[in-house]
Amino acid sequence: SKTSILCGDLLDFTGNPFHQGEEAVRFQPEGALVIEQGKIIARGPKAEILANYGAQAEVTEFTDKLIVPGFIDTHIHLPQTQMIASYGEQLLTWLTEYAFPEEMKFADRDHAVKVSEFFLNELLKNGTTTALVFGTVHPQSVDAFFQVAQAKGLRMIAGKVMMDRNCPEELQDTPEQGYLESKQLIEKWHGVDRLAYAVTPRFAPTSSPEQLQACKQLLEENPSVYMQTHTSENLDECEWVKSLFPDAEDYLAVYENAGLLRKKSVLAHGIHMSQREIDCCKEHDTAIAHCPTSNLFIGSGLFDLKRMQENHIEVAMGTDVGGGSSFSLLQTFNEAYKVQQLQGKKLTAFEGLYLTTLGGARALDLEGVIGQLEIGCEADCVVLDPKATPLLDFRLQEVSELHEKLFALMMLGDDRCIEQTYSLGKVVYQRDVK
C-alpha cells in the first residue's frame, strides 16, 4: 500500500513528566512521520525524511501545527451521550433521576446504533481515537457499538454493564445472565480488528457478591480482557458500600477480595481513597481514570493527582460523559488544572498531555501500540491548531515558548483546535475549512 508523510511540529512523550520533568517530553519542530499500512515506520526532521522517503510518498504539510498522539479517554459512558449536562444532582440521585432512565432506551438496538454513530463521531471531532467505554446492561448496546467502531477502523474497548441489584428492574441482569452475555460478546468481538472487551460491573452497590464472582470467572477464563468499574467517587456512595459490604476492610477491598484487580483493570475516580487502597492499586497494577469535569459537575470531590503519582499509580484521563460535562480532553485538562489549583498544586501542560496520550496507553497496557509518535506504533494522531480561535491567536501572538503555547492551547482549546484526526494513518475527521 501507499506511503504517506505527515509534516508538522511533533510532540509526544518518552516517559512520565511527573517523575522525569521535561526530559520525558519529545519535541521535534518541523518534523515528519512516515506512515505505511497504518503504522509509523520512520520519524525525524522534515528535510531528512522528505529526502529519504519523499519521492514515492503522498506528503501532507502542516505549518505551525502540533502533531500529537491521538487522545485516549479511559472512562466514558456511551448511553449517557444524550443526557450530558443534566441539572442539579449529585451521584446517587443523578443516577436514578437521569442516568438509569436514559440507559433504558438501549433495549432498542437501533437506538444504540444511532447513539454509537454520534458518539464515535464526537470522539473523533475532539481528537479522541481510543476510549474505554461503558455500554448499558443490554448486550445489544455493546454489540451495536462494536459494529460501528469496527466500520470506522478504530481501536476501542467496551463492555456491557453488569448490575443485578439496587437499580430499576428493567436494567438488571443476574449473575448467570451477565456472565453468559459477557462471554458471548467476548467471543464475538474481543481481539477482532482493533476491538477489545472489558468486563464491566457498574460499581459495588449494584452487584451482588455472586455477580462479582461471575466477573472474576470471566477474567480468569479470558486473561486478555479488561475490567472497568467505579470506585470512591462520592461520600454517600462510600458509606453505602460500607453498609452493603460490612466485612470488607474498605471500598477497594470489595473488588480486591472478588479478584477483580489486576493489570488492565481501570477504576474510575478514586477520589476518597485511603493509603491502604492506594497501596492496593499499586500492588495489583490497577490504573485510575481521573475524571475532573465529572468530579466538579456532579460535585464529587477533588482528586489528589500528585499523591497518586508519588505512589506510582498509573493514572490516565477520563471524560466520564455524561457525568462529565465535555467530550474534549483539552477541556478536561482545563478542569484537571483547576482541581489541582484548589489543592494548592500545579499541573503542567506536559503532565496533562502525557495523561491524555502515553499515560492512557500505559493505563490500558497499550504502550508501543498507541499513545506515542513512535516507530511501530499505530498512526492514530491529531493535528492541533494552536491559533484556531481569535482569542488563542491573539494570546499566542508573541509566544514562542512551547510550554506556554501548549498550556494556553489546552486551557482555551476544544474541538475547534482539532484540525484533523488520523486513525491508522487515515483521516477520520477533518475540521471545516475556516
By beta-carbon proximity to Fe ion, the closer residue of 214 and 268 is: 268
Q: Which of 320, 335, 374, 419 binds ligand GUN (CB under 6 A)?
A: 320
* Cα–Cα dist 297/281, whole Å: 26
**The amino acid at 8:** G
Nearer to ligand GUN among residue 248 and residue 388 (C-beta): 248
* Residue numbers 190-219 binding ligand GUN by CB under 6 A: 202-203
If one asks whether residue 272 binds ligand GUN (CB under 6 A), the answer comes out as no
Q: Phi, psi (5° rounding) for residue 139?
A: -60, -30
Binding mask 215-254 for Fe ion (x = CB under 5 A): ----------------------------------------
Residue in 102, 109, 240, 254 with CA at minimum distance from that of residue 171: 102
For 428-434, which contacts have Cβ atoms below 8 Å and span 24 or more sequence positions? 428/124, 428/129, 428/152, 428/153, 428/154, 429/121, 429/124, 429/125, 429/127, 431/385
Q: Report the candidate in 253, 169, 171 with the shortest Cα–Cα distance to residue 209.
A: 253
Q: How far is the CB of 257 from Fe ion (least distance, A)?
A: 22
Report which of 127, 203, 147, 213 is spatially closest to residue 178, judged by C-alpha positions.
213
Sign of the CA dihedral 343, 345, 349, 355?
negative
Which partner in Fe ion, ligand GUN, none is near 304 (CB below 5 to 8 A by kind)?
A: none
C-alpha cell at 105: 432506551
The residue (of 131 and 268) whose beta carbon lies closer to Fe ion is 268
Q: How far is the CB of 229 from ligand GUN (least distance, A)?
A: 8
Residue 150 sits at φ, ψ, to 5 deg, of -65, -45
Total binding residues toward ligand GUN, as defined by CB under 6 A: 11
Least separation in angstroms between CB 324 and ligand GUN: 7
- Out of 320, 378, 414, 415, point to the residue binding Fe ion (CB under 5 A): 320
Q: Which of 43, 190, 230, 395 binds ligand GUN (CB under 6 A)?
A: 230
Q: Between residues 201 and 386, which has the closer beta carbon with respect to ligand GUN?
A: 201
Q: Positive or negative CA dihedral for 121, 226, 362, 81? A: positive
Select from 6-14, 271-279, 316-324, 395-403 the region that touches Fe ion (CB under 5 A). 316-324
- The residue from 178, 292, 323, 352 that contacts ligand GUN (CB under 6 A) is 323
d(CA 64, CA 181): 49
Report the alpha-carbon distance of residue 109 to residue 89 in Å, rounded: 29
Closest approach, Cβ 180 to ligand GUN, in A, equals 22
Binding site for ligand GUN (CB under 6 A): 77, 91, 95, 99, 202-203, 230, 233, 294, 320, 323
Q: Which residues bind Fe ion (CB under 5 A)?
A: 268, 320
